[in-house]
């Protein structure tokens, strides 16, 4: 069973109310560390910015899961939580977003924020994703890919592809701007769709249940269904990408594959977003001991001089034992690894620890 939790945290420097929506489910396994995503009301016209961020937050919430639908291995991904900032706080840079995540004592691993600018009746939404890099409460940072080749050598470690994203702008039509610029824009209804209105979604609310484009919420002493419209052309890729990263952080490898595959198949998605989705897919498939040869080829084709792409492809091949020929690897995998230090060495800083460890592994094969 899933239910929403309401949680308020006070902070003197920010003075904001924060609401937590967490997945709770009974399990016989020890719970994994909680991973948290902070949603901040978008800057710009206050009510429109709050409506856009609220819709994003509620739709993102729909992607959270504690375990897969069919779970013979009794997997437990722990709690994935959505923190909703209940009042407008200026966020104009990734540095500010990272500080906000830590200053609220929320220790969020992801922050989604943005700006809304109106123009001649329509509006332009630009969303940003910040993945802060600081010591949080988790005993292990699952997003950092660690691979031990030998017991007597240092493991190879690769960080996530990027920690700051700017998504493609979304144009909001005049009708959307008109509807969602009101403090009472998000109506709560007794039934999904055409049910009678029972209230309006306030700044404080609890999430109870999801059903397609609808969310059952509790706000102002009443329960009701809220309709969550698609915001624009680039909304699906934003939700799928951010939710896919959440699943990487929570070691929900197959779930990450499901969402990030949608991003790479979307030819309208920006090249940079598709590239990093391919890299996350390589990581997820590697953890499941699945071949990611197609993803490796696509990543290198999109960014043949990307240091991070080179590392992710190499980590996949190393994990499959491709330092040796005949290990069930693609014909060019062993050659790729053997030639990597000489061919791609200029992409790395002098004395790069990862490259030094790779050279050692090649010399000892």
Q: What is the DSSP string of 144-176?
A: SEEE-S-TTSPPEEE--S-SEEEPPPEEEPHHH
With bands split at pLDDT 50, 70 and 90, how would you rate the model's confidence at 49? very high
Average pLDDT over residues 184-200: 88
Please check whether residues 31 and 110 belong to one and the same domain.
yes
Other C-beta atoms closer than 10 Å to the C-beta of 119 total: 10
Q: What separation in angstroms does the CA of 111 have from each of 95, 144, 191, 237? A: 11, 18, 32, 16
Name the average pLDDT for the chain: 86
**Residue 219 three-state SS:** strand
Please check whether residues 108 and 256 belong to one and the same domain.
no
Residue 244 lies in a domain: no
Residue 157 lies in a domain: no
Average pLDDT over residues 337-356: 95
Please check whether residues 126 and 262 belong to one and the same domain.
no
Please check whether residues 263 and 182 belong to one and the same domain.
no
Q: Indicate if the pLDDT at residue 26 is higher than 50.
A: no
What is the total count of domains within the chain?
2
Residue 170 lies in a domain: yes
Q: Indicate if the pLDDT at residue 13 is higher than 60.
A: no
Please check whether residues 260 and 222 belong to one and the same domain.
no
Average pLDDT over residues 319-342: 88
Residue 305 lies in a domain: yes
Q: Which residues, at least 6 apart from 291, have a Cβ–Cβ distance to it below 8 Å?
A: 285, 320
Please check whether residues 212 and 312 belong to one and the same domain.
no
Q: Which residue has the higher pLDDT, 365 or 32?
A: 365
pLDDT at 335: 92
pLDDT at 208: 87
pLDDT at 22: 41
Structural domain for 110, as ranges: 18-148+165-227
259 within 8 A of 73, measured Cβ to Cβ: no
Q: What tokens appear for 115 in the block? A: 């700006």
Please check whether residues 104 and 222 belong to one and the same domain.
yes
Please check whether residues 203 and 265 belong to one and the same domain.
no
pLDDT tens digits, one per residue of 287-330: 999 999 999 999 999 999 999 999 999 999 999 999 887 778 88
pLDDT at 2: 30
Please check whether residues 37 and 174 belong to one and the same domain.
yes
> Bridge partners of 344?
none
Q: Indicate if the pLDDT at residue 223 is higher than 90.
A: yes
26 within 8 A of 71, measured Cβ to Cβ: no
Residues 214 and 225: their CA atoms lie apart, in Å, by 6
The residue among 112, 58, 39, 3 whose CA lies nearest residue 226 is 58
Q: Indicate if the pLDDT at residue 61 is higher than 80.
A: yes
Please check whether residues 207 and 281 belong to one and the same domain.
no
With bands split at pLDDT 50, 70 and 90, how would you rate the model's confidence at 20? very low
pTM recorded for the entire structure: 0.87
Residue 317 lies in a domain: yes
Residue 9 lies in a domain: no
């Amino acid at each position: 069973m899933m239910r929403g939790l309401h949680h308020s945290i006070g902070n003197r420097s920010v003075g904001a109310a924060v609401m937590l929506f967490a997945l709770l489910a009974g399990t016989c396994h020890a719970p994994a560390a909680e991973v948290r995503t902070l949603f901040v009301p978008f800057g710009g016209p206050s009510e429109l910015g709050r409506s856009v961020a609220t819709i994003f937050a509620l739709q993102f919430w729909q992607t959270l899961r504690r375990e897969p639908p069919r779970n013979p291995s009794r997997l437990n991904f722990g709690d994935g939580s959505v923190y909703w900032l209940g009042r407008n706080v200026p966020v104009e840079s990734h540095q500010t977003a990272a500080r906000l995540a830590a200053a609220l004592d929320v220790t969020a691993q992801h922050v989604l924020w943005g700006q809304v600018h109106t123009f001649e009746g329509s509006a332009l939404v630009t969303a940003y994703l910040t993945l802060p890099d600081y010591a949080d409460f988790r005993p292990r940072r699952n997003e950092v890919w660690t691979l031990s080749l030998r017991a007597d050598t240092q493991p190879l470690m690769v960080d996530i592809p990027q920690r700051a994203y700017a998504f493609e702008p979304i144009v909001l039509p005049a009708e959307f701007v008109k509807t969602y610029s009101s403090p009472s824009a998000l109506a709560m209804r007794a039934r999904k769709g055409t049910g009678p209105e029972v209230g309006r979604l306030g700044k404080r609310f609890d999430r109870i249940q999801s059903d397609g484009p609808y969310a059952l919420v509790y706000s102002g002493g009443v329960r009701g269904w809220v309709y969550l419209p698609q915001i624009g052309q680039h909304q699906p890729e934003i939700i799928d990408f951010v939710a896919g990263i959440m699943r990487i952080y929570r070691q929900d490898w197959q779930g990450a594959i499901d969402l990030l595959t949608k991003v790479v198949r979307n030819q309208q998605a920006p090249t940079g977003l598709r590239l990093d989705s391919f890299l996350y897919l390589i990581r997820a498939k590697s953890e499941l001991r699945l071949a990611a040869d197609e993803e490796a080829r696509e990543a290198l084709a999109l960014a043949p001089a990307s240091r991070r792409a080179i590392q992710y492809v190499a980590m996949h091949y190393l994990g499959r034992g491709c330092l040796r020929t005949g290990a069930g690897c693609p014909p060019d995998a062993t050659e790729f690894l053997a030639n990597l230090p000489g061919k791609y060495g200029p992409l790395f800083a002098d004395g790069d620890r990862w490259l030094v460890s790779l050279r050692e592994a090649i010399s000892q094969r």
